[in-house]
Chains A and B, each alone.
Chain A
Amino acid sequence: MSPLTKRVLRDTVGLSKRYVLVSLIAGISSAIYPLISIYISRRIIDMLAQSMAYTELLRFILLGLGAVFIAQIISGLFNYVHQFEQAEFHQRLELARNKKSIDMAFGYAEDPATKDLRHKITIIGYGGTPSFEMIAYSIKDLVSYVVSVIGAAWLILPAFFYRTETVYDSPIFFVVFIGLLLLFAYLPHRYNQRQNDKMNQLFQEVHSANTTFNYLADMVFNPEAGKEIRLYRQQPKINRWFAANTDPNGSAVRWMRELTWSMGKLSLISFSTNQVVILFLYLLVGFKGIAGGLPLGHIVAATAALNVLISVLSELITHLSVMGSDSSGVQLHYDYMDLPNQTQVGSIPVEKRLDNDYQLSAKGISFSYPGTDRPVLKDISVDFSVGKSYAIVGENGSGKTTFIKLLTRLYDPDQGEVTLNDIAANKYDAHQYYSLFNVVFQDFDLFSFKLGETIATDQSYDQAKVLQALSEVGFRDRFDQLPKGLDTSLNKEFDSEGITLSGGEKQKLALARAIYNDGPIYVLDEPTAALDPISEFEIYQKFHQITRGKTSLIISHRLSSCRFSDEILVFDHGRIVQRGSHEELVAVAGKYAELWNAQAKHYQAEAIDLSRLGLTEATSA
């Protein structure tokens, strides 16, 4: 057995012992009952020849049929359970792969090559290349084949070794029989292997057609994309791509044809050669019967068992050879599972402090995305004072979002380091480090569970704290209309009465989730992009209450957010080109003034009446 196969089997046991156990029992029992049946008929025929009494005969027959019946029921039971266990095993395997996508270093999770690898793992088996699944799923069959071969041999051999004192007792017949049997079982296997290489090649071609197909199918299945498809009359184009999959000369159809034909050819060849072995054995037992009194029961049993043997032998050889060699399909699985994890070097627990005195710094950090040589961040140094609020501004593509990915340790910098209380960020335990940040990413996702759980990202949560967070983001009015309160499900996956939220509402909840997390540092990337001006204003007004003297970083294209930040960092082409308060920066000609004026000029034409805003205390100047 190859090392890779051993690893597959070990991991299979690790994922579900129950699956392996059920596979073993199902395999053995499904092989045994046809063998019992053959054995019983052999005994019956022999008894008939001995002209036994009618009732005694029937009693034995009833017993025999009963044995077959019981074996059949056991096999049926375990095969049913096996079917289910295999489905569950598959689900566990998928989850293990998904867990890996959570654990792997974030850079891999963002790399399209990883996504492609994951996709290939899912479909590699279609090309006939042995995959992790194929080996794990073959346990039952393999066991069943082994038992069948042993049992069939046990039923056939007596026909060879029965002494008839004729020329047919010669061992040469046995040798020829075994030789033919093995040769004809091995040939299709050889052919199959050669075929596999060819199929793999074709498969690569199909893979790219398949990727296009999946991409378009995803798009077509998404109602939102339907608007553009109709308004820009994209149907003929898309259908042409789809049609490529059914085009008789296209690679997809060619692959299908070749795949079914290569399997068809294989079965034709092995079927034909097997007839030679069958003819050989039938004639041999026939001669032995006529010339030397080989009992009829042995003849019937040997011929019936031969059919069993033939049907499994070549499969058995193929399976064994799959297990004996390292398959590229299995390798794909492990290429994925062995991707480096999030740097776990760190194990220092984050010190629990009640005073939120967590000081975050970037010390001369530079960064390029893996596989590129274009620096996105160049030598950035910032010390974030505890409790101050920072606005990060700059044009699209100036490196703002990348910067927060480094601060939150989703990426490690190429040069320099991110530190927390003067200790390098990656020295800390990753989970504890993550928990320091209350984040709202631009492309956030809420999960389809109960509202309370979604805000707390956990099944148990502090109700009062959730309600507090909902109030702070201005979701309380909507919340009070929900009959199930915090148990209201989002979306319909887990509850058909779940609610569907608008983009603005989702954004409020994302902010509430960040508030609930209650870490010492807020990181908000465009937290109000989907809100209307009124909701945005309300959030801005409450910003200081929300962040409660914690350190906060806010990225926004709406520069109004700079007005209530203590310090503004202006990013341009991966560098911080300006920093200071709004008043300082707007007074000098520079990137900030340029950005600010582009937006503010539209709002300064009319004087606004502050009394109309209903503001209170320190908010107005």
Chain B
Amino acid sequence: MKRFFSNMNYLIRRIIRFDAKLFWYVLIEVIVGLVIAYIGLRLTQDLINMVAQGVAASRLIRRISVLIGLYALFGLVQKLASHQSQLVSQLFRVHELAEVTSALQSCDYQLLEREDYQKTKELAFTTVQQDASLTQIFPSNLKRFLEQLLKIGLFGAMLSVIDRRFLIYIGLLLGLVIGYRLFQHRFIEGTKAERGRYNEQYRYINRVTGNFQLAKDVRLFRVQPWFETIFEDVLHKLRRITYKRGLVVLGGQFISGLLILLLTFYGYAVLIRQLQAGLINVGQLVFFIGALTTIAVSSSDFINVIFDLIDNHGDINHLRRFLNYPPLFNHEAKEPIPQTIETIELKGVSYQYPGSPQPLFDQFDLTLSKDEKVALVGLNGAGKTTLVKLILNLYKPDEGHILINGIDNQQFAVEDYYRLFSVVFQDHYLLPLSIKETVLQDSPYDEDKYHWVLEKSGLSEVIEELPLGEDTPLVREIDPEAITLSGGQHQKLKLAQALYKDAPALILDEPTAALDPLAESEVYRRYHEHAQDKLSIFITHRLATTRFCDRILYLEEGRIIEDGTHEELIGLGGRYQQMYDKQAYYYQTGERR
């Protein structure tokens, strides 16, 4: 219960911060809604009474016109207020969506890979994703809650003047239905996880079959019948749960319907007695029966809205948890960021992936210094990429320290820290920008530097062939004018981007995996030219290219087991050499099979 109010409070505060006027619109809707309900019932009552009394035509016209006029007037006010509140609600939801996406980009990278964070992210997203998400429908829920509460109160009070027992029966009705709904709520909560799982499976099948990128595999391996069987199976399971749930829901409808029947029947019994005793007239009878019907309808809506909120208030908690997720890294600059890197030291660094049985790195030490060109080699899973992520402060060590020029890197604000590195990752992500904008990223334009970078990276040759030149956009999905770069061209672009950033250290993660031999050779030549006066680290599987490096680190299960130049390691006759031999084998002269 405390959680519930705290979540509601959180949501209301966020709305107030966005646009407090929203609550005024809601208030207007509620009050006007109440007045309209009253006028509607009065209209029928007065019509009946005037007919029964046989009043003069002019009086009938006057009274009916006034009432319908008022009804129309308040109706218009209600619609205007509701229009405004719907619009603002939607804008609020979109605003929250932007907050979520923004938080995703600025949160600590390591969190993105954590299961708990990912779950929270997914759940937070559902609260802001659609028109039916809670952030958008909350104001209308609030309106329903207040309006129905007031209607029950107003008409209940009127009925209690006739017979006090009405209040008791209305209270009993509410109590019983709420009791059943609590049971129903528990039941539905209990099936939520299972439903969620099947829905996820459905979404997966939908994603795979609808994904055009997988079109080749889906065709060649003729998976359609297989997928259809699984699809039918998932639908069948979903149907089973839904029907079970349907019985419970139907039970609730049965109970509330029966109670309303009894209440209405009681109302008729009491009112007809009063009518026959001459205490009320027919018009009043119709009015009170109408009031009872309104109470019945309002009660069920009132209860629905309460349970909608109870069922979903957890969503707000996810949103709240997500937006306030505790950071891992330091975001406050306790030390200014250095202009150059003299040394990078890893001291007693341990790191364990969540869910893995033992740490990948355990008490790991390493010192890299300025001007070193370091190659990181090893088998898949040896920890090469993880090591780079630790150095980049994308992961935080569980134990130990990483020092830059002798200063613990947690003393720097992580955002500043990222300025120290130019990195080329393996992934191909592009913002919908032009080539030029992609090279510049967030650095200011410097004409000399820009042209120098284009030359050095070989990107200028790419640009020359394009009709739109450096202004060519890069994402086909968004801009039909855009071009899709080949693997080699992409590498040149990424190199240019890294060079333009001109950070003290350069890090490359398997930059040539997708390149043909000529492009590969060219890329290596360019990289090595530019790493001259910088600290550079690169991960590679192509051992021959490591001979340009001053220092090769052979990594195995989180430990450096060999450290030296190419010639030194070959001389050692260890793992590096074994690996080298296997790769070199087919490149030797003589027959190879």
* Closest residue on chain A to residue B95 by CB atoms: A246
Task: Return the CB mask of A230-242 against B: 1 if under 8 Å, else 0.
Answer: 1111111111011
Question: A459–B378 Cα gap in the complex (Å)?
Answer: 37
Question: A228–B431 Cα gap in the complex (Å)?
Answer: 10
The reply to whether A608 and B588 contact each other, CB–CB distance below 8 Å, is yes
Residues of B within 8 A of A384 (CB): none
* Closest residue on chain A to residue B355 by CB atoms: A500
Query: Given A227-B425, A236-B442, does the pair A283, B587 have CB atoms closer than 8 Å?
Result: no
The reply to whether B215 and A61 contact each other, CB–CB distance below 8 Å, is no
A537 contacts B by Cβ under 8 Å: yes
Give the distance to chain B from A596, nearest Cβ to Cβ, in Å: 7
Residues of A within 8 A of B51 (CB): 285-286, 289-290, 294, 296, 299
The reply to whether A564 and B518 contact each other, CB–CB distance below 8 Å, is no
Question: A552–B126 Cα gap in the complex (Å)?
Answer: 48
Query: Given A397-B486, A602-B544, A608-B581, does the pair A300, B286 have CB atoms closer than 8 Å?
Result: yes
Question: A252–B415 Cα gap in the complex (Å)?
Answer: 32
Query: Given A73-B257, A226-B105, A286-B47, does the pair A101, B210 have CB atoms closer than 8 Å?
Result: yes
Task: Return the CB mask of B562-587 against A: 1 if under 8 Å, else 0.
Answer: 00000000100100011111111111
Query: Given A94-B210, A101-B212, A395-B516, does the pair A61, B265 have CB atoms closer than 8 Å?
Result: yes
Question: A227–B591 Cα gap in the complex (Å)?
Answer: 45
Q: Please report which residues of chain B, range 385-420, place their CB below 8 angstroms from some CB of chain A when the two chains form the complex.
A: 389, 392, 394, 415, 418
The reply to whether B579 and A533 contact each other, CB–CB distance below 8 Å, is yes
The reply to whether B286 and A286 contact each other, CB–CB distance below 8 Å, is no
* Closest residue on chain B to residue A612 by CB atoms: B581
Q: Please report which residues of chain A, range 109-132, place their CB below 8 angstroms from some CB of chain B when the two chains form the complex.
A: 109-110, 112, 114-116, 118
The reply to whether B520 and A227 contact each other, CB–CB distance below 8 Å, is no
Residues of B within 8 A of A535 (CB): 379-380
The reply to whether B75 and A271 contact each other, CB–CB distance below 8 Å, is yes
Give the distance to chain A from B429, nearest Cβ to Cβ, in Å: 4
Task: Return the CB mask of A426-448 against B: 1 if under 8 Å, else 0.
Answer: 00000100110101010111011
Question: A68–B106 Cα gap in the complex (Å)?
Answer: 58
* Closest residue on chain B to residue A263 by CB atoms: B83
Question: A223–B118 Cα gap in the complex (Å)?
Answer: 9
Binds A, one of B155-163, B177-185, B227-235, B527-535: B227-235
Task: Return the CB mask of A66-101 against B: 1 if under 8 Å, else 0.
Answer: 101100110011001100100010011011011101
Query: Given A493-B201, A618-B593, does the pair A58, B272 have CB atoms closer than 8 Å?
Result: yes
Question: How many A-B contacts at CB < 8 Å in the complex?
Answer: 421
Query: Given A48-B272, A286-B60, A560-B587, does the pair A106, B519 have CB atoms closer than 8 Å?
Result: no
Question: A397–B462 Cα gap in the complex (Å)?
Answer: 14
The reply to whether B224 and A99 contact each other, CB–CB distance below 8 Å, is yes
* Size of the chain B interface, CB-CB below 8 angstroms: 152
Q: Please report which residues of chain B, range 528-569, place their CB below 8 angstroms from some CB of chain A when the two chains form the complex.
A: 541-545, 547
From B113, B501, B581, give the contact of A232 (CB < 8 A): B501
The reply to whether A613 and B582 contact each other, CB–CB distance below 8 Å, is yes
Q: Please report which residues of chain A, range 518-542, place their CB below 8 angstroms from some CB of chain B when the two chains form the complex.
A: 526, 529-537, 540
The reply to whether B583 and A537 contact each other, CB–CB distance below 8 Å, is yes
The reply to whether A395 and B518 contact each other, CB–CB distance below 8 Å, is yes
Task: Return the CB mask of A253-278 against B: 1 if under 8 Å, else 0.
Answer: 10011001101100110011001001
* Closest residue on chain A to residue B524 by CB atoms: A602
The reply to whether B94 and A245 contact each other, CB–CB distance below 8 Å, is yes
The reply to whether B588 and A533 contact each other, CB–CB distance below 8 Å, is no
The reply to whether A459 and B231 contact each other, CB–CB distance below 8 Å, is no
The reply to whether B217 and A444 contact each other, CB–CB distance below 8 Å, is yes
Query: Given A101-B212, A557-B517, does the pair A221, B104 have CB atoms closer than 8 Å?
Result: yes
Residues of A within 8 A of B44 (CB): 300, 303-304
Q: Summarize A's interface: helix, strand, loop or mixed.
A: helix
Question: A261–B83 Cα gap in the complex (Å)?
Answer: 7
Task: Return the CB mask of A169-188 against B: 1 if under 8 Å, else 0.
Answer: 00000000000000000000
* Closest residue on chain A to residue B78 by CB atoms: A271
The reply to whether A282 and B68 contact each other, CB–CB distance below 8 Å, is yes
Residues of B within 8 A of A303 (CB): 44, 47
Query: Given A98-B209, A529-B514, does the pair A457, B223 have CB atoms closer than 8 Å?
Result: yes
Give the distance to chain B from A103, nearest Cβ to Cβ, in Å: 8
Residues of A within 8 A of B268 (CB): 44, 58, 61
B6 contacts A by Cβ under 8 Å: no
Residues of B within 8 A of A81 (CB): 246
Question: A247–B219 Cα gap in the complex (Å)?
Answer: 43
A600 contacts B by Cβ under 8 Å: yes
Task: Return the CB mask of B274-310 against A: 1 if under 8 Å, else 0.
Answer: 0110000010011001000000000000000000000
A249 contacts B by Cβ under 8 Å: no
Q: Please report which residues of chain A, range 377-408, place their CB below 8 angstroms from some CB of chain B when the two chains form the complex.
A: 394-397, 405, 408
Question: A229–B105 Cα gap in the complex (Å)?
Answer: 7
The reply to whether B216 and A225 contact each other, CB–CB distance below 8 Å, is no
The reply to whether A598 and B518 contact each other, CB–CB distance below 8 Å, is yes
A339 contacts B by Cβ under 8 Å: no
Question: A508–B166 Cα gap in the complex (Å)?
Answer: 75
* Closest residue on chain B to residue A66 by CB atoms: B261
Residues of A within 8 A of B587 (CB): 559-560, 599-600, 603-604
Question: A211–B479 Cα gap in the complex (Å)?
Answer: 10
Question: A221–B429 Cα gap in the complex (Å)?
Answer: 12
Question: A91–B210 Cα gap in the complex (Å)?
Answer: 12
Binds B, one of A133-141, A144-152, A212-220, A413-421: A212-220
Residues of B within 8 A of A483 (CB): none
Residues of B within 8 A of A50 (CB): none
Query: Given A260-B90, A290-B54, does the pair A275, B72 have CB atoms closer than 8 Å?
Result: yes
Residues of B within 8 A of A231 (CB): 392, 418, 421, 423
The reply to whether B221 and A410 contact each other, CB–CB distance below 8 Å, is no
Residues of A within 8 A of B191 (CB): none
From A112, A220, A448, A609, give the contact of B476 (CB < 8 A): A112
B452 contacts A by Cβ under 8 Å: no
Task: Return the CB mask of B31-74 against A: 1 if under 8 Å, else 0.
Answer: 00000000000011001101110110100110011001001100
Q: Which size bracket describes the interface of A in this complex? A: 35 or more
Q: Please report which residues of chain B, range 71-92, place their CB below 8 angstroms from some CB of chain A when the two chains form the complex.
A: 71-72, 75-76, 79-80, 83, 86-87, 90-91
Residues of B within 8 A of A561 (CB): 586
Residues of A within 8 A of B577 (CB): 612
Residues of A within 8 A of B102 (CB): 235, 239, 242
Q: Please report which residues of chain A, range 527-578, place their CB below 8 angstroms from some CB of chain B when the two chains form the complex.
A: 529-537, 540, 544, 557, 559-561, 563-564
Question: A48–B248 Cα gap in the complex (Å)?
Answer: 39
Query: Given A447-B208, A613-B581, does the pair A235, B221 have CB atoms closer than 8 Å?
Result: no
Question: A57–B90 Cα gap in the complex (Å)?
Answer: 51
The reply to whether B478 and A45 contact each other, CB–CB distance below 8 Å, is no
The reply to whether B215 and A223 contact each other, CB–CB distance below 8 Å, is no
A338 contacts B by Cβ under 8 Å: no
From A222, A223, A396, give the contact of B487 (CB < 8 A): A396
From B210, B425, B584, give the contact of A608 (CB < 8 A): B584
The reply to whether A283 and B209 contact each other, CB–CB distance below 8 Å, is no
Question: A237–B544 Cα gap in the complex (Å)?
Answer: 39
The reply to whether A394 and B516 contact each other, CB–CB distance below 8 Å, is yes
Query: Given A109-B212, A261-B83, A434-B219, does the pair A271, B76 have CB atoms closer than 8 Å?
Result: yes
* Closest residue on chain A to residue B96 by CB atoms: A246
The reply to whether B431 and A237 contact each other, CB–CB distance below 8 Å, is yes
Question: A457–B378 Cα gap in the complex (Å)?
Answer: 33
Residues of B within 8 A of A504 (CB): 380-381
Task: Return the CB mask of B242-277 against A: 1 if under 8 Å, else 0.
Answer: 110010011001100110010011001100110110
A-B contact pairs, 25 of them (CB 8 A): A88-B235, A102-B218, A215-B478, A221-B121, A235-B102, A242-B101, A275-B68, A286-B64, A287-B60, A396-B487, A396-B514, A397-B486, A443-B216, A448-B204, A453-B226, A494-B204, A504-B381, A517-B221, A544-B593, A559-B587, A596-B517, A599-B521, A604-B589, A612-B578, A613-B585
Additional A-B contact list (13), CB under 8 Å, known A229-B105, A612-B573: A58-B272, A65-B265, A73-B253, A95-B209, A118-B210, A246-B95, A275-B75, A278-B68, A286-B50, A342-B219, A396-B487, A410-B216, A608-B580
